[in-house]
Structure 1
Amino acid sequence: MTCRTFPFLLVGAILYVVILLSVDFLRPHPAPFRLRREALLLPPVFSMLAFIRLGLLAAVSAFSLTSCQKESEPTPSRQEQLVAYHWQTTNYYVKNAGQSSNVELFASWKECQKDDAQKFAVEGTYVHKTGPTTCDTEQDVTGTWHLSEQDTKLTLQEAGWKDNQVWTIVSMSDREINLERPTVIEGGFYVLQLRAI
């Protein structure tokens, strides 16, 4: 039973109990006084059956309402999350590359580069789109992408380039992605952080 069907079943169950009560109240009785008295003070057998029915109805209602409250939308896959938005870089740096601190790369970017964004398509292509602020020589870049190793690796292959980039997805939500890939220095990593726009 789903939340959509529950209201109809609940109304039907209530009508069923009301009909049973009405039938018992309207059955012939020896005297009007007895009818009034039994309407207020139910006979033992009727009371027991009525309370059992009402108790079962209340239990089913409570269980169904609890189930409805627990229902939620299924978590989208990483592919669905990737293709749902444009992704913009919020930070880019190198860590553990023989330096005592991180080497900031994003801070050195020009403002016309910081507003660029990546758009991933379902068919496995992507476009690195220039933002509102455009550099003199800047233009859109295209390529292909795919996920692998149980959606923990994101491979980007820019058009016209022989080498690809394989990023490890460290964490991913519906609005943020944290990626890493090794540098040429052992133990070092490029760290790329993206947000959905």
Structure 2
Amino acid sequence: MKTVLDTIDPREALTILGCSKGKTRGGTAPETGTVWPEEMLRARAEVLARSKVDSGGLRPAWLRYNGHFYRNVGGALGEAVEHGRTLILSGGYGILRADEPISYYDRKLKLSDWPSGVLEDAVIGEARRIGATKVVTFVSASADYAKLIRRIPWGDTEIEAVLVTIDFHDGGAQIEVPRRLAQAFSAWWHRTPSGYPAGMVTEVLA
């Protein structure tokens, strides 16, 4: 399957993933200073104040989530996190660096929770901070995660953005879509196009 992903080095791009409803409780990660724009941190504090948050310890974000994407992604995610160029979209935290320590929480991403432009600016700012000229996002097509990525004004920047979704309309989509997204991410990270799943859609955003 020939795709635009074949032209993008995963170790040079900024990768964006969605969070999951399934999460692991507890944690022993140390609290660290969070370097995000003040507007984002302020909005995050307001959203978390309206969310169910468990103070039972911190975990790095990529280890907090245990939904179907995270259970199926294998070692590719750990390698990507170690590389330091991965973000996670979160209902409670907005934008997270994948290794950022977070609490257990319960909140779905709703764009109406966040001031206009705050999350968009945070994504663009992170891409520029790490010097990434390409951004690749793996999320469900129907949720607010994809809406957020689509509404970022990529055309006003020097960044090429690619959105990867799964075209799947049969029963069991809540399991099958994240499983296939995990397969797509792993195949891209390992540079094995033969591993791309059926129904994978790549969309270049402008």
Task: Provide TM-score, normalisation by structure 2.
Answer: 0.23
Ranked by relative contact order (alpha carbons within 8 Å, sequence separation 6 or more), the top structure is 2
Structure with bigger gyration radius: 1
Higher normalized strand content (fraction of residues): 1
